[in-house]
């Protein structure tokens, strides 16, 4: 292929410059210029960032036939759940996560499942040799796997193979190792990642191939070139969970073909990742007796309720006490501490406060507020919450306890798992008269003070 000229394009306004500049000459934004291949006169390159359908005549919306996309299940139920039912023809999936978390393992298992169902697959490995991939497949017990493997990192060769072998699904492991010789910047740079992903996306749409791009997360916790890749692809999945526990979560943070925030739960075993079909109780630690600083909440991840234990440790701090949270937002923690002080008279000003969601799960919904506050108070006072206790609900700056979405479902899950006492927002409690749900006693509250009062009464 002839070497094309490269230019520097602004990721904000699309302006170009023949050389790299710190500031975009058009919109004056800083550090937004990335190297791209200059648009060819044919105009084909202009389309590079138009990932979806090609051009069509203007039509009235009601006249356009709404086609339900066909999905091919991978055979791994938890993966299909986050994908929205399976892979979609021509769909592009970005799957990110820390090194060693299990991206290659999961995808190799998925490809093998698809190949067994007579779906032609291609696994492009840029990080490991074919022999290493083979070693992993033996370890996974996929001895006679018919998955096709290509050890290649040059974009043009990968594109040529996609065009000639026409697989239904291709995995690029990883996008950061792929480079195009049209660009002078180094493999793994934002320019390379963006350009290569754009080409692969176009190839996916053109050939009807599902392309799965594996992306490594940088130390700061972002995919290299995150913004550009996320808007280019149809589905973005992230691996979560700490590498020390055997559980892995795969979360859909964007999905044009399914629900976002849906999660799949896996356990890493000696023979690869196994789906955990009923994960609601895996994020509870086992205390034989209740301990101070621990409170269970029911969180809704996607469509599934899960019980997660929140642990807090409040300990006397130095002149500038620390606030640290794992799996929960730190800014929110600071806010909750202020609300605790103002509305419930619980002061942690001179104390270090550590909060942790057990099992490496990340909780983004505010329904965790009440449990976090009760865990902190419990640790500060050195008094454990009762056995079988749980709480959920968002707490506002005025000290009000706001309802969580789909409260009934959360309560039913807790009752199913044998919890006996719940403090929940009033709007989430069952209608008057029935404060009991299969052995679970429900205490509805409207304010944080009220929640504290109820807890004191239970002890
Ligand atoms: P891998 O899929 O290579 O991670 P990534 O592609 O995200 O970097 O996973 C590697 C880890 O998983 C490694 O620490 C070994 C472990 N593992 C198992 O525990 N069991 C297995 O069957 C396999 C294949 C890997
Ligand atoms: Mg890998």
Regarding whether 248 and 109 lie in a shared domain, the answer is: yes
Regarding whether 267 and 187 lie in a shared domain, the answer is: yes
Q: Is the shortest distance between the CB of 241 and ligand 1 below 6 Å?
A: no
CA 373 to chain CA centroid, Å, is 25
Regarding whether 93 and 242 lie in a shared domain, the answer is: yes
Regarding whether 28 and 116 lie in a shared domain, the answer is: no
Regarding whether 248 and 306 lie in a shared domain, the answer is: no
Q: Of the candidates 50, 23, 452, 446, which has an alpha carbon nearest to the alpha carbon of residue 232?
A: 50
pLDDT of the residue at 112: 96
What is the pTM (predicted TM-score) of this model?
A: 0.79
The predicted model gives 320-332 an average pLDDT of 92
229 CA to centre of ligand 1 in angstroms: 24
Q: Is the shortest distance between the CB of 103 and ligand 1 below 6 Å?
A: yes
Query: In this structure, what DSSP letter does residue 367 have?
Result: G
214 CA to centre of ligand 1 in angstroms: 14
What's 95's domain CATH number? 3.40.50.300
Regarding whether 123 and 89 lie in a shared domain, the answer is: yes
Q: State the ligand closest to the CA atom of 136.
A: 1
CA dist., res. 390 & res. 294, Å (int): 10
pLDDT of the residue at 226: 53
Domain end position, chosen among 247, 277, 307: 277
Query: In this structure, what DSSP letter does residue 299 have?
Result: E
Q: State the ligand closest to the CA atom of 100.
A: 1
pLDDT of the residue at 285: 77
pLDDT one-digit tens code per residue, 115-162: 999 999 999 999 999 999 999 999 999 989 999 999 999 999 999 999
| Tokens representing residue 453 in the block | 């009062």
76 CA to centre of ligand 1 in angstroms: 17
- Residue 40's contacts (CB-CB under 8 Å, 6 or more residues apart) are 4
Calculate the alpha carbon distances from 231 to 82, 92, 209, 226, 427 in Å.
18, 11, 19, 9, 37
At 53, the pLDDT band (50, 70, 90 cuts) reads low
pLDDT at 98 over 90: no
- Return the beta strands (E) in 53-109 as ranges: 71-72, 87-88, 92-97
Q: Is the shortest distance between the CB of 456 and ligand 1 below 6 Å?
A: no
pLDDT one-digit tens code per residue, 31-50: 888 887 765 444 444 444 44
Greatest extent of the chain over all pairs of C-alpha atoms, in Å: 78
What's 301's domain CATH number? 3.30.230.10
CA dist., res. 455 & res. 389, Å (int): 10
Q: Is the shortest distance between the CB of 109 and ligand 1 below 6 Å?
A: no
Q: Would 288 be classed as within a structural domain?
A: no
Query: In this structure, what DSSP letter does residue 67 have?
Result: P
Q: Are 416 and 388 in contact (CB under 8 A)?
A: no
| Tokens representing residue 215 in the block | 């992306």
Ligand 1 atom with the shortest distance to the CA of 243: 14
How many structural domains compose the chain?
A: 3
Q: Is the shortest distance between the CB of 100 and ligand 1 below 6 Å?
A: yes
How is the beta sheet containing 33-37 ordered, strand by strand? 16-17, 6-10, 33-37
pLDDT of the residue at 44: 43
Q: Is the shortest distance between the CB of 428 and ligand 1 below 6 Å?
A: no
pLDDT of the residue at 43: 43
Q: Would 65 be classed as within a structural domain?
A: no
pLDDT of the residue at 221: 57
Question: What angle in degrees, to the nearest 10, is found between the helix axes of 448-458 and 369-381?
Answer: 50
Q: Of the candidates 308, 443, 318, which has an alpha carbon nearest to the alpha carbon of residue 371?
A: 308
Beta strand pairing call for 33-37 and 71-72: unpaired
166 CA to centre of ligand 2 in angstroms: 24
Q: Would 61 be classed as within a structural domain?
A: no
Q: Of the candidates 115, 121, 123, which has an alpha carbon nearest to the alpha carbon of residue 150?
A: 123
Q: Report residues near ion ligand 2: CB below 5 Å.
A: 104
For the beta carbon of residue 58, count every other beta carbon within 10 angstroms.
Answer: 4
pLDDT of the residue at 32: 81
Beta strand pairing call for 6-10 and 33-37: antiparallel
Mean pLDDT of the chain: 88
The protein residue whose alpha carbon is closest to atom 14 in ligand 1 is 100
401 CA to centre of ligand 1 in angstroms: 43
Regarding whether 315 and 263 lie in a shared domain, the answer is: no
Q: Does 414 or 227 have the greater pLDDT score? A: 414
Ligand 1 atom with the shortest distance to the CA of 97: 7
pLDDT at 54 over 80: no
171 CA to centre of ligand 1 in angstroms: 16
Ligand 1 atom with the shortest distance to the CA of 136: 24
Q: Are 255 and 87 in contact (CB under 8 A)?
A: no
Annotated binding site: 97-104
Q: Which helix (H) or strand (E) holds 315?
A: strand 304-316
Q: State the ligand closest to the CA atom of 140.
A: 1
Q: Are 215 and 95 in contact (CB under 8 A)?
A: yes
Residue 10: domain span: 6-43
Q: Does 397 or 10 have the greater pLDDT score? A: 397
């Amino acid at each position: 292929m002839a070497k094309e000229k490269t230019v520097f394009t602004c990721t904000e306004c699309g302006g170009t410059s023949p050389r790299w500049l710190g500031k975009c000459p058009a919109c004056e934004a800083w550090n937004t210029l990335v190297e791209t291949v200059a648009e060819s006169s044919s105009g084909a390159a202009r389309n590079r960032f138009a990932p979806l359908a090609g051009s069509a005549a203007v039509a009235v919306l009601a006249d356009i036939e709404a086609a339900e996309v066909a999905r091919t299940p991978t055979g791994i139920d938890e993966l299909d759940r986050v994908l929205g039912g399976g892979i979609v023809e021509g769909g592009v999936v970005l799957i990110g996560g820390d090194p060693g978390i299990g991206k290659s393992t999961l995808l190799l298992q998925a490809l093998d499942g698809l190949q067994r169902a007579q779906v032609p697959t291609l696994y492009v490995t840029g990080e490991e040799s074919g022999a290493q991939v083979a070693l992993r497949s033996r370890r996974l017990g996929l001895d006679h796997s018919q998955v096709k493997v290509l050890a290649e990192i040059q974009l043009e060769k990968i594109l040529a193979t996609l065009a000639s072998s026409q697989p239904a699904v291709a995995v690029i492991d990883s996008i950061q190792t792929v480079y195009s010789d049209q660009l002078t910047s180094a493999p793994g740079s934002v320019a390379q990642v963006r350009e290569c992903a754009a080409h692969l996306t176009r190839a996916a749409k053109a050939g009807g191939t599902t392309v799965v791009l594996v992306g490594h997360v940088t130390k700061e916790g972002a995919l290299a070139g995150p913004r550009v890749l996320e808007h280019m692809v149809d589905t973005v999945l992230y691996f979560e969970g700490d590498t020390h526990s055997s559980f892995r979560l795969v979360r859909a943070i964007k999905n044009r073909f399914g629900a976002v925030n849906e999660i799949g739960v896996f356990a890493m075993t000696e023979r690869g990742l196994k789906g955990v079909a009923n994960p609601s109780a895996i994020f509870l630690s086992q205390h034989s007796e209740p301990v101070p600083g621990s409170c269970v909440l029911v969180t809704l991840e996607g469509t599934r309720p899960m019980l997660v234990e929140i642990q807090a440790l409040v300990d006397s701090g130095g002149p500038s006490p620390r606030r640290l949270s794992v799996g929960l937002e730190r800014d929110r923690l600071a806010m909750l501490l202020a609300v605790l002080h103002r509305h419930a008279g619980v002061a942690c000003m001179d104390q270090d406060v550590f909060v942790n969601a057990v099992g490496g799960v990340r909780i983004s919904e505010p329904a965790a507020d009440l449990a976090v506050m009760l865990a902190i108070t419990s640790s500060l006072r050195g008094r454990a919450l009762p056995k079988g206790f749980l709480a959920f609900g968002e707490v506002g700056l005025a000290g009000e306890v706001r309802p969580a979405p789909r409260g009934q479902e959360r309560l039913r899950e807790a009752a199913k798992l044998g919890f006996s006492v719940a403090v929940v927002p009033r709007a989430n409690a069952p209608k008057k008269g029935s404060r009991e749900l299969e052995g679970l006693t429900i205490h509805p509250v409207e304010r944080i003070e009220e929640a504290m009062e109820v807890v004191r009464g239970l002890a």
